[in-house]
Amino acid sequence: MIRSILYATDLGLYAPYVLQHALQLAQAHNAKLHVVHAVEPMGLFAESVLQTYVDASVLEQLRENGLGVVMNSIEQRVLEAFREDVTEGIEDLSPLHGVRVVQGDPPQVILDEAEQLGVDLVVIGSHSHGHSLHSSLGRTAARLLQLSQVPVYLVPMLQHRLA
- Coil, helix or strand at residue 80: helix
Which residues share a beta bridge with 77?
none
Mean pLDDT of 133-158: 87
Q: Determine what percent of the chain is predicted with pLDDT higher than 90.
A: 38
Q: What is the mean pLDDT of the chain?
A: 81
Pick 91 or 145 by higher pLDDT: 145
81: Cβ contacts below 8 Å, ≥ 6 apart = 11, 15, 16
| Per-residue model confidence as pLDDT tens digits over 62-83 | 666 666 766 777 777 777 777 7
Q: Determine what percent of the chain is predicted with pLDDT higher than 70.
A: 74
d(CA 6, CA 120): 8
Give the CA distances from residue 70 to residues 11, 65, 75, 76, in Å, rounded to whole numbers and listed in that order: 15, 9, 9, 10
Contact in structure between 144 and 111 (CB atoms under 8 Å)? yes
d(CA 35, CA 19): 9
* pLDDT (0 to 100) of residue 115: 97
d(CA 25, CA 2): 9
Radius of gyration of the chain (CA): 17
| Per-residue model confidence as pLDDT tens digits over 3-22 | 999 999 988 888 888 988 99
Type of residue found at 82? F
d(CA 26, CA 40): 28
* pLDDT (0 to 100) of residue 122: 98
- Tell me the pLDDT band of 163, cut-offs 50, 70 and 90: very low
Set out the domains of the chain in order of their start, with CATH numbers.
4-42+76-162 (3.40.50.620)
Q: How far is CA 110 from the centre of its chain?
A: 8
Residue 1, judged by CB atoms within 10 A of its CB (0-12, 13-18, 19+), counts as exposed
Question: Global pTM?
Answer: 0.77
* Count of C-beta atoms within a 10 Å radius of residue 154: 17
N-term to C-term CA, the chain: 36
